Amino acid sequence: MSKKTVTITNNWTGKQVDLPLVEGSQGPYGIDVRPLYSELGLLAYDPGFFSTASCSSQITYIDGEEGVLQYRGYPVEQLAEQSNFLETAYLLMYGELPTLTQLSAFRTQICHHTMINESLKNFFHGFHYDAHPMAVMVGVVGSLSAFYHDSLDIRDPEHREVSAHRMIAKMPTIAAASYKHTIGEPFVYPRNDLDYCGNFLNMMFSTPCEPYPMDPLKEKALNLLFILHMDHEQNASSATVRLAGSSQANPFACIAAGIASLWGPAHGGANEAVLEMLEQIGTPERVPEFIRRAKDKEDPFRLMGFGHRVYKNYDPRARLIRKTCHEVLAQVAPDAYNPIFELALKLEELARSDDYFIERNLYPNVDFYSGIIYRALGIPNNMFTVMFAIARTVGWVSHWMEMMGDPGQRIGRPRQVYTGATERVYCPIERR
Ligand code: SDX
């Protein structure tokens, strides 16, 4: 059967080109536009990549119309309810759910990379106590590229794998240290007898004076949040890691680039912005005023935690997180946080009944409810995006490994449509 193609005709010159289709296992096919420039002298133009596939990938599938999210084919709802961080991290990295033996070996690998070089502590002390933890994360994670000279050959699959293990293992340690630095408490070392989420909570909240009482509900809630934040196909930060990695840059430097991109309030920084917005709104009576502002094109205010480039239906992660909010708040801190949660529910109800949001398919996204749970776990607002970064590191390293393992991998180098000045002659300053 002949290959599926799409014919593009340049009506201006009459030239035509048949472009082959790139067929996926599910979801939209792609048009391979690589011959476009050589055949028609034209570029595909798509600022913001609304209709552009930058690669093919087998890691995560999203159906934005149906509100579907699958990691390696497994619905995220099933993983969130039945799996845990390390098992799902293994699935994203290696493509299959691990056997008991594989999971045990993976856990041992990760556990034995959780410590950071003692000299790294000096980096934290170079920041003022009021530095935003995401600024600290960008700096300290980037500085890991100055270490590990034993595994810097990124053409070596084993070096790539150990770099991925090190990144997943060290993110919680660096994140907790970023927090401890802002509150002037001593860093807490990782413990290999605790699981990934329990170990992180212990590094965040225990002190030399007293141990942190482990709470299975909090660990369960954190496992769910980390699983739901782990990957999301070619989102801005994962696309950043891929582009940085395409030049064969140091993997830790690429992850630092991903952290920088995630920090923006249009992306992962939205979870912190949602809590600031809810605190600014304050009471359900003021919700209509803020919905009016979100609709006003003259007002830069947007409803943080609402809308999504791909989801034009409910973000499945937001639905699961909202459900977990009920469970966590009911047991962990009903008095302190219910008002904020009630306000979020009211905001969602009024926004979702407003034509502006309905017509634009604006639903709560992953960031709308997550901060409420983080707060109930005792995590401060300025650490919410750091939490996102810990989880998304699994997606970032999985995409980096998938890209670097592709023998056809090339440097990413987008073109542009130039609209600036045409050639002109230099004019000496005395004649300007
Ligand atoms: C994440 O890509 C990913 O997968 C990201 C992520 C992941 O897991 O990696 O899912 C995580 O980043 C979630 C998004 C978190 N960001 C926010 O919650 C910030 C608030 N949301 C928006 O800024 C916005 O919705 C984006 C950035 C999420 C999406 O922007 P798009 O796709 O460029 O959409 P757009 O800005 O073109 O909006 C379309 C219309 C516009 O109105 P019109 O020009 O058509 O009249 O919807 C309006 C926008 O003004 N709109 C909003 C709005 N979001 C979109 N209006 C008010 N409040 C909002 N939140």
Q: What is the CB neighbour count within 10 angstroms for residue 75?
A: 14
Burial of 354 (0-12, 13-18, 19+ CB in 10 A): middle
- 229 is a catalytic site residue: no
Helices (H), 184-250: 196-205, 216-229, 236-245
Q: Who contacts 194 (Cβ-Cβ below 8 Å, separation ≥6)?
A: 202, 214
- The span from the CA of 251 to the CA of 143, in Å, is 11
pLDDT at res. 331: 83
Helix (H) or strand (E) holding 17: strand 16-22
Spell out the per-residue pLDDT of the chain, length 432, in tens.
Answer: 678 999 999 999 999 999 999 999 999 999 999 999 999 999 999 999 999 999 999 999 999 999 999 999 999 999 999 999 999 999 999 999 999 999 999 999 999 999 999 999 999 999 999 999 999 999 999 999 999 877 789 999 999 999 999 999 999 999 999 999 999 999 999 999 999 999 999 999 999 999 899 999 999 999 999 999 999 999 999 999 999 999 999 999 999 999 999 999 999 999 999 999 999 999 999 999 999 999 999 999 999 999 999 999 899 999 999 998 888 888 876 666 678 889 999 999 999 999 999 999 999 999 999 999 999 899 999 999 999 999 999 999 999 999 999 999 999 999 999 999 999 999 999 999
For residue 203 the two structure tokens come to 């590094």
* Per-residue CA distances from 358 to 69, 279, 328, 350 (Å): 22, 25, 30, 11
Determine the distance from the C-alpha atom of residue 374 to the mean position of all C-alpha atoms in its chain, rounded to a whole number: 16
Q: State in Å: Cα 360 to ligand 1 middle.
A: 10
Rg (CA), the chain: 24
Mutate to test the pocket of ligand 1, among 61, 62, 237, 267 (most ligand atoms within 8 A of CB): 267
- Predicted model pTM: 0.95
Q: State in Å: Cα 118 to ligand 1 middle.
A: 41
Instruction: List the beta strands (DSSP E) in 378-428.
Output: none
Burial of 78 (0-12, 13-18, 19+ CB in 10 A): exposed
From the list 171, 161, 280, 266, the residue with the least C-alpha distance to 226 is 171
User: Which protein residues are within 6 Å of ligand 1, measured from CB?
Assistant: 232, 235, 266-268, 270, 294, 302-310, 360, 362, 365-367
- The span from the CA of 425 to the CA of 413, in Å, is 30
CA dihedral 334, 268, 152, 139 (to 10 degrees): -80
Q: State in Å: Cα 231 to ligand 1 middle.
A: 18
User: For 247, which DSSP code?
Assistant: T
Which residue's CA is the nearest one to ligand 1's atom 23?
A: 266
Q: State in Å: Cα 306 to ligand 1 middle.
A: 7
Mutate to test the pocket of ligand 1, among 46, 76, 262, 308 (most ligand atoms within 8 A of CB): 308
- 367 is a catalytic site residue: yes
Which residue's CA is the nearest one to ligand 1's atom 45?
A: 360
Helix, strand, coil shares of the chain, percent, nearest 5, are 55, 5, 40
Catalytic residue among 132, 181, 367, 399: 367
From the list 303, 305, 300, 302, the residue with the least C-alpha distance to 271 is 305
- The span from the CA of 94 to the CA of 97, in Å, is 8
CA dihedral 235, 237, 242, 245 (to 10 degrees): 180
- The span from the CA of 372 to the CA of 340, in Å, is 7
Q: What is the CB neighbour count within 10 angstroms for residue 117?
A: 13
